[in-house]
Chain A
Amino acid sequence: MTLLTVNDLWVRFPTRQGIFAAVRGISFELGQERLGIVGESGSGKSMTGRSILQLIRKPGQVQAAEISFQGRNLLDLSEREMRSVRGNEISMVMQDPKFSLNPVMTIGAQLMEAYLQHNRDNRQSARKKCIEMLNAVSLRDPERVMNAYPHEMSGGMGQRIMIAMMLIPDPKILIADEPTSALDVSVQRQVLSIMDKLVRDRGMGLIFISHDLNLVAEFCDRVLIMYAGRIVESCLASKLHEAKHPYTRGLLNALPRLDNPRAHLEVLQRQDDWMHAPLEQTQ
């Protein structure tokens, strides 16, 4: 079942030197699957995620043939309707939990507020639901977490709380924009497997935006590789290491590897024709 269809999406920013297109006419579909979007900084991967929820700030412009979510074209919705989509049906987890949580409210109060916004319920059962959610993201001692303030949490705990909060309204799609880049490697995998499990149990669609090819290969079903605002390659995550496009190959080879010591790392030689290359299908 297709949850989201994006067709010919453009994101443009007017600058003094002319119009800069951050995303240039990309199309993809998302079903009940885990879709990874990989690319370097400036490849337009974050802009793609944000433009789905129309979170591109002025003066940026989003234009697309369609961005349809369950048969509704998100581009036709009013700002008010968009807000309810953002809260209830498509959620987003950002890179740094520190900036997403209100520092002067307890975590419990923020979770309950989010829950009560979407559900009619009394405070006691809301509290119980929130504690259940914290349990679901494997936080030890959720009672204590409920009464704690964000600064008392480590980065990994904060990100798990964010995931809990985003999942409260039971969205159909979760967009995770570099959810673990601010975390330590050992915590990264914990957080990702929790997110992964929740997404799979609930039959949600996940868009996982990251710069880390290995992480994406591990936690996604399908991967889109973006370069300069275009999708240069799309492949199954399990076959990422057999990717054909020279850009994908270059990214893979640029990583130092423990099992393959070299005096010099391979350096990506960027070619101009990647900018215009049509999508290579390797599915």
Chain B
Amino acid sequence: MTAINVQNLDVWFGSVSAVRSVSFSVAQGQSVGLVGESGSGKSTILRAITGLAPDWSGSIQALGQDLHGAARDRSFFKKVQMVFQDPYASLHPRHSVDQVLSEALHLQGMDAISKRTEKLLDDVGLGPRFRFRYPHQLSGGQRQRVAIARALAGEPEVLLLDEPTSALDVSVQAEILNLLTDLRADRGLTYIMVSHDLPVVAHMCDNLAVMQNGSVVEMMTADALRAHQAIEPYTRELLAAST
């Protein structure tokens, strides 16, 4: 079954078009990467799916549900969640970890919130010690774990990952990527991961789409990428720059 299906997607901000006729689909349980440099429109696609970028045309289906405009209903947010790039910006500076997670659980209509908060913290490798801390008492990696826990609150099926490790140190990146790998295996999650880092995407994803200037230049499997079967010169250029 298809988890996310995007056909002929165009997204624009004002009069600037950020994404031009992009099509791809992600099967359930699969993990797909969007790779490109800044301004290539890769994050914009995620924002269009979640309704954060309201001006788009084409068709987007999420788990069989047709999406329109910027409005998304609760059932969408229960199934599809997003993890943002900058863990320093994605947590409210005045809310403790406990507040962040229990609010998410409350909004997702969960019961036994206190118990579930502890469970979520445990799932992302943070102990109960972290429950009442504020973001400024956490390191970058710990913050990103909290952000992942928040995304998992409603037990979603699809996670959209917007450069989840680009603001982190390599050793912390490894921990977060391992966590994401484990979560996907445990819960059968579907990932769409956006990154500028080819090795990271190749590590996390089965399939990847290389983007440039708002369009998909090339789609291939991670194995084909490793085997140097990239055809497009731009993909080769990226490869050369990242090894």
Contact = CB atoms under 8 A, between A and B. Distances in A.
Interface of A: 40-41, 155, 184-189, 211, 213, 250-251, 254-259, 261-268
B241 A211 contact: no
B45 to A, nearest CB: 18
22 contacts: A40-B172, A41-B140, A184-B38, A185-B196, A185-B197, A185-B242, A186-B237, A186-B238, A187-B37, A250-B171, A255-B199, A256-B199, A256-B200, A258-B225, A258-B226, A258-B242, A261-B203, A261-B226, A264-B178, A265-B203, A266-B174, A267-B174
Interface of B is mostly: helix
A255 B200 CA distance: 8
Contacts of A254: 170-171, 173-174
Nearest to A214: B243
A254 B198 CA distance: 15
B175 interface: yes
B63 to A, nearest CB: 27
Given A184-B38, A258-B226, A40 B169 contact: yes
Nearest to B172: A40
B23 interface: no
Q: Which of A188, A254, A257, A262 has the most CB of B within 10 A?
A: A254
B174 A268 contact: yes
A237 to B, nearest CB: 17
Nearest to B182: A264
B238 A259 contact: no
Given A258-B226, A261-B203, A261-B226, A186 B171 contact: no
B48 interface: no
Given A186-B241, A188-B241, A258-B225, A265 B37 contact: no
Contacts of B225: 258
Interface of A is mostly: loop
B241 A256 contact: no
Nearest to A265: B174
Interface in B187-243: 196-200, 202-203, 222, 225-226, 237-239, 241-243
A265 B199 CA distance: 12
Contacts of B222: 261
A213 B169 CA distance: 11
B6 interface: no
Q: Which 6 A-B pairs have the closest CB atoms?
A: A256-B203, A268-B171, A254-B174, A184-B37, A265-B174, A40-B169
Nearest to A188: B241
B113 interface: no
Given A259-B226, A261-B202, A40 B178 contact: no
A261 B222 CA distance: 10
B181 interface: yes
B38 A265 contact: no
A262 B243 CA distance: 16
Contacts of A188: 241
Nearest to A40: B169
A186 B238 CA distance: 7
Contacts of A40: 169-172
A213 B173 CA distance: 14
B67 interface: no
B220 to A, nearest CB: 13
Contact of B170 (A251, A262, A263): A251
Given A256-B174, A258-B226, A261-B202, 7 more contacts: A40-B169, A255-B170, A256-B199, A256-B203, A259-B226, A261-B203, A264-B181
B53 interface: no
Interface string B36-52: 01100000000000000
Contacts of B241: 185-186, 188-189
A12 to B, nearest CB: 21
A211 B174 contact: no
A196 B239 CA distance: 22
Nearest to B199: A256
